[in-house]
Amino acid sequence: MSERMTRSAGVPMLALGGLALLAALALPLWLDDFWLQTGLFAMAAVVGAIGLTLLVGVAGQLSLGHAFFIGVGAYTYTVLVGEPGERVLGLGLPPLLALVAAGAVAGMAGALFSPIAGRLRGIYLGLASLGLVFLGRHLWINLEDLTGGFNGRSVEPFAVPGFSFSNHDPDYLAVLGTEFDGLHRQWYLFLAVALLAAWFAYGVKSSRVGRALASVRDSEVAAASVGINVTTAKATVFTLSSVYAGVGGALMALAFSRIAPDSFGLLLSIDYLVMIVLGGVGSVAGASAGAVFVSVLPLVLAEYSAQLPFLSDVGSGGLDGATLSRLIYGAAIVAVLLFLRGGLAGGLDRLRQRLVAPTSKETVAS
């Protein structure tokens, strides 16, 4: 009977996921450039948020240094695909190789920090990782030959042999009468990476590794008593989270087409923590939903500020879209902590249980 209830509870979620995937595949046929660009930012944020929820939610390790690893991935990708001979260093490597390398280099940076991550937890790990953000800013500004310094550097578009995700090769591409330019093509690239990231994260959570990380989160003493190497487990998940951040940083660089040191400050780390808290700490789907909300809201408010009489232009001294979005984040966090424990994912789970409960009672009665 319990197996039947579990199956009946999972069917609506699978159907909902299938509909969401179909919608994501079809949206580029109707969206304009603003919404396509916004979608790219959101999907880049989804990848980074999934990595952070594995670290914070599944393993229970607080990190304020996520922006540093995002920056490592962004600059690694940009340097590797950059054209040789420019003012800044470029190696001219294939973009697909550079995307993989972005995750690998960020992962190696996380592995170098992992001896510290393996011995600290909670606020102490958070403060230690915070130093990485300030170290990163110093590097991004002063390594001018690599990063372009304070003004940053442009990012070469993604391409594979015979096909470019910009407006070239082919110069013209249409699907169902809609011309697919660079933004349309990148949409499907970003969607594929985000889906792969989510699929792998679900696999980690449901594996022996995921169960070991959950044991470490609940009680390090109990985890050690059943043979789990706590230090190794914490170092491993920190490295994995860094890989996710690096890939997300590479996507972020592609979405912006230009990167600068100010893009990878402390506020970015805080934004990612807000994403996973609002979505539900430890939930892959929740982190994805939180990432979409946090990344899309300020862009939408800035785009439509002229139609909203209570918003002012940036720098005018009034309430602008970016400030309003942060006020909304704060109010949303307070509301989640008070009324919606478990975030959006927890709320949806409780709603699903209420919807399934009447069906299960009818099944028992029959």
| pLDDT one-digit tens code per residue, 248-282 | 999 999 999 999 999 999 999 999 999 999 888 88
> Across the strands, what pairs with 1?
none
Q: Which pLDDT belongs to residue 358?
A: 59
In a domain, 44, yes or no: yes
In a domain, 342, yes or no: no
What is residue 54's DSSP assignment?
I
In a domain, 98, yes or no: yes
In a domain, 1, yes or no: no
Q: Which of 2-6, 67-71, 76-80, 334-338 has the lowest mean pLDDT?
A: 2-6
Please determine, for residue 243, whether its predicted confidence score (pLDDT) is greater than 90.
Answer: yes
Q: Is 315 exposed, middle or buried (0-12, 13-18, 19+ CB in 10 A)?
A: exposed
- Cβ proximity of 83 and 259 under 8 Å: no
Indicate the number of domains in the chain: 1
Percent of the chain topping pLDDT 90? 44
Secondary structure of residue 258 in the 3-state scheme: strand
pLDDT class of 4 with cuts at 50, 70, 90? very low
Q: Which pLDDT belongs to residue 176?
A: 62
- Cβ proximity of 41 and 244 under 8 Å: no
Please determine, for residue 1, whether its predicted confidence score (pLDDT) is greater than 60.
Answer: no
In a domain, 304, yes or no: no
Place of tokens 């890939």: 247
Task: Report the pLDDT averaged over residues 309-335.
Answer: 77
Angle between helices 122-142 and 266-279 (to 10 degrees): 140
Instruction: Using alpha carbons, list the distances in angstroms from residue 88 to 78, 100, 148, 149, 251.
Output: 10, 21, 6, 10, 20
pTM of the model: 0.88
In a domain, 172, yes or no: yes
- Residue 72's nearest CA partner among 271, 263, 290 is 263
pLDDT class of 164 with cuts at 50, 70, 90? confident
Q: Which pLDDT belongs to residue 318?
A: 72
- Residue 236's nearest CA partner among 48, 50, 59 is 59
Domain that includes residue 225, residue range:
30-264
- Cβ proximity of 25 and 191 under 8 Å: yes
pLDDT class of 160 with cuts at 50, 70, 90? confident
Question: Over the range 233-267, which residues count as b (16 or more CB within 10 Å of their CB) and which as e?
Answer: bbbbbbbbbbbbbbbbbbbbbbbbeebbbebbbee
Instruction: Considering only residues 356 and 141, tell me which one the structure prediction assigns the higher pLDDT.
Output: 141
In a domain, 319, yes or no: no
32-251-324 Cα angle (round to 5)? 60
Most confident region among 202-206, 345-349, 351-355 by mean pLDDT: 202-206
In a domain, 54, yes or no: yes
Task: Report the pLDDT averaged over residues 32-42.
Answer: 93
Q: Which pLDDT belongs to residue 49?
A: 96
